Structure 1
Amino acid sequence: MTTPDPAIMSARYGRERRTPRAFAVAGVLAGLLVTLAVGPQLGDRNPTVHAEHLSYEVIDDATVTVRFALTTRPGVTARCSVVAFNEAHTQVGFREVTIGPVAERRSAHETQLTTNEHATTGSVENCIVVAAE
């Protein structure tokens, strides 16, 4: 049995079909294009919030003011834990503050904590997103 000439077979039946490898490459490229087109819109569905401690001020034996900045997407509402510590680094004050919805990407905030003894420092511990527009 002889193998037919590829030129004769191509003229009679048309050229050879694409290989599975060509289909795989085309599929990967199509998936990449869809990811690049749709990905940025989907990535912002779960916004994050970042808190940065700016300063604190001990007002008296029972009060501390804490200033901090939030960085997040406009329209996000966040809940932040703000704490005060004494000289022995024991927590002597705590407050949860709800902020937002924020109008700008970065915003500065200030809150006062009531403490159960003289505090030597205050800071924002963490913030979480509670709502997003």
Structure 2
Amino acid sequence: MTTRNLLLAIAIAAMPLVAGCKGNKVGTTDCAPGEPVFVSCGCLGVGSCTATPDPVLRICDGTLEEDECTWDVQLGENDDGPMCSRCPGLTVTCPDSGSLLVIARGYYPDEIVDCDWATSPGGPPPPPEE
């Protein structure tokens, strides 16, 4: 592979990080400023997902537009939630605006995922007992 082709491949792979992520399930939700909010699609019983293709959640302040929700301003992003296989789940602190922008997308930019996200105010629910 030539240096030019290698640089082109790296630039294409990094494009979602620079340009933001275009989600296929995007929405806003209200929250209490300063309080933790668990956002998930299928992790710990919050929301639902199909693990293939691999869903990713990105969370930003709800005052932003989807294309403004880039890696450098995000409140959080998760690919595989703790104890949740490939279904994402993460806790963020509600911003002063009292609103979160939630973007569900595929791990790879062209993937359409089944990720119906939901929130749990106050943080994640306890893990299920075994």
Specify if TM > 0.5: no
TM-score grouping bracket, smaller chain normalisation: 0.3 to 0.5
More strand per residue: 1
The TM-score with structure 2 as length reference comes to: 0.34
The structure whose RCO (Cα within 8 Å, separation 6+) is larger is 2
